[in-house]
Structure 1
């Protein structure tokens, strides 16, 4: 198929694109390039791309590249960035998502795969893993934006336009456009470079974890799955066995990488606390079988950090922290307050 991937120069997009190409699909990207320079290791091979802001995309833009499917990853992608300007988060993550989907439908796209998030469960119940029918309890504009998008996208589905929602667990793992603001990536980097596995909470919150390569594999499997099986469905993406207390994640990082586990002074509970069941995707999409465990992912990250000489100032600075990257671009006058590139940039 010919697949349009939005956010193809982001953390997940940089892992997904080679997976699609390796499976024989043709890829076109859509990205404004906010994080294109945030690389660790070799820069990913470029693909043909639309340099169009998600908020401006039209049916004519999509008709020009004529994709069979759209994989929509582009978003303001973490809670601190979302909290910076909640309305901007809703503009990009919700309203622009609907604009893209309507344009895709008008352009004759057959399948639209939306990168949602388990963060929409927010403060989920602790007694049992949450299935796709669980109530939502978002704690951030990011989580709320995913709920609004799923709700409104579902209204567009019909016999010609198939929607699929991938509720990804908390991502981790190496990407050539690394995010250091993801919990496992952060803990491994600090353990390796600074000798400390530092927690900002008491570590007693549950979190489902999934490797970036397994997310990419899920997108591929759902792209190729029979329409009658996956049409209109939401899937928790991950492995039911990969739910962890953050404290246990830190201890595993210490065991694999070294260092000492530390807790911030006065550290309390993290309100984001949920486990999820990924049994539905395991049952309905046999083409998807997660290949990564947390231990293997920690080993991969540590090896990649050492191979590419990751420095602490890069891990914790603007190169690999999304909010700091945006802040630096604004301060330098390269983007405006709405995160659009300045004409002089």
Structure 2
């Protein structure tokens, strides 16, 4: 199986589906490092070469895991990481810091942790409201000029911020949560702005943080230390209501003869975005990668969107404190 490629922006092309590595090191409960490394290396065998991480995942541990996994295969990968909330070298996390000084510090540290001399795609993980976006992006542009970063992007940014940032230096991508279960970007001009400016769109949590796989039927299906237990959509009453919606998607998938995850990913790719589903297993990776061969007609796309009406989804998509700080 060979995974096709998709263009983002600024001349960057990536595998049409990527791999989000976060859960291998943080937030989603216990993981098996041996299987995680095998999954990362198997992704390259399948042509899933767009790997996404961030300094926040651990902190730092996910970047180090990727360095161990890639070894002599670094040149096969389009490697994306992010400058996150200000983090000390000992892992102590402070508030957002989009200053040029911190962005440079974070990039230099990520290069060391990743064991590479260049980051293919470097994101500002969250916009710092106390620093003009022009200053943050200006610092990222300097890293490009120095050859330490090839392309830059933003995560969870408003349409206005995207426009201002892109005027300083071309953005290759904007990354935000986007799935059948979270379609805010279609209503707040974020996706429309990236389309207009020729910026690629990368969808994180494209399976609704696992909800759209159909495997999560109750909160008891999550590890005791899984951070999703604190999300509004994963509270017991919300899960019960939202499962009724997910089951509608499951029925359409069954008619198509594909898995729930595959049809959800195929719907997203039909929107012209690159999804980066996270997984810690080779089996799930293969299932996700096979979604690139699924084609949905207009009626199927509409049925899927209609199956999960925004006004019937119970609970917000993110932690309340996180959602309050998103640049919108």
TM-score per shorter chain, which class?
0.3 to 0.5
- When normalised by structure 2's length, the TM-score is 0.33
- When normalised by structure 1's length, the TM-score is 0.32
More helix by share: 2
